[in-house]
Copies of this chain bind each other. A is one copy, B any other.
């Protein structure tokens, strides 16, 4: 084994960073044996140096992250700051000054992955980011290495623990959205401002990264259709139960049937209780993958948290250090397929639509006509009447999102339709 240690700098020392530093110390012997050389924590960049950091020698701590990544003697820089800047500049500076990078930064990877990969390639460095999607779950390596000889057709996942906790709570207790959110906040599963989670921004960033890797093409954050889950109601869960379904916030990346384009989207959807994703409880994440040869695979585990995210970071650290000792780099970005990303209107799926209608003869015929005129075929209809008001629940066969949108617009203009109570996609069948 080489005795000269590989030098690692840590950018950020919050929940994840402090755990990375801790494991680097407590598991130093194991890491050295697995890498083939010891690793040394060479510096830690933080925002406030005054805070005492247990287990980290004070002389390693600096507030000057730029000077740290410019040192020139670093082998690996671990970026766990998050956000776009200064992370982006620090990563490219690290590449320029001889270091490979392990990052957990989904927002940055989703927005600027292509440029960062290009910078890594230019300087012959590695850029690894297993921790950026679904925390501890090995996902990026399986998709880009284990399935490198296969053709992936769909990736469908629960990639946000906060929203899964909320939806699971609504499902199991009958609580409304606000009540479930309040509990998630009280238990620390939701942040004070939960927007990034509940509006699907976090999941959309992960969808962009997953779609790019799965289909060997470039998918930007702007390419991902996004719908949050704040409008899911207890009534939606009741409807889902009647269909033998539950509701999950899903990130879905699909190859079109003709193979020439892909789509990526995040929205709440009904899935059958028999689907493996339906039984993913609490704040857990899981990603379901369908490919030509392997068939159906699922990867399940904790999607966030200091220790799980640190596990993913350290797995990458070991790989990058091994590559360094081998004088090689791992697989970089693979975007050769250069597929078109189709808009949401092209997505084909099933829909569950609840309408409030007048309880009088002929309404169903009117509604059915509208669906037919837009080429949307109806699978089942359920009608419930009470006191002159009625509700009509329509489940469609597979149709394009554009056709469905047209159908709903036309339904809204019918006198007999008082309102569209909810529209939800049905997936996983």
Contacts and interface: CB of A to CB of B under 8 A. Distances in A.
Stoichiometry, as copies per complex, reads 2
A193 interface: no
A296 B307 contact: no
Most buried by B among A137, A300, A305, A336: A300
B23 A293 contact: yes
Interface string A356-379: 000000000000000000000000
Contacts of A323: 328
Contacts of A146: 130, 138, 141-142, 312, 315
Given A294-B307, A314-B293, A326-B328, A147 B138 contact: yes
Most buried by B among A293, A316, A327: A293
Contacts of A311: 147, 149-150, 291-294
Interface residues of A, number: 58
A299 interface: yes
A142 to B, nearest CB: 4
A148 B138 CA distance: 11
A151 B301 CA distance: 16
A356 to B, nearest CB: 37
A410 to B, nearest CB: 41
A34 interface: yes
Contacts of A136: 293-295, 297
Most buried by B among A19, A149, A296: A149
A383 interface: no
Nearest to A280: B276
A146 to B, nearest CB: 3
Interface stretch (A25-33, A44-52, A245-253, A262-270): A25-33
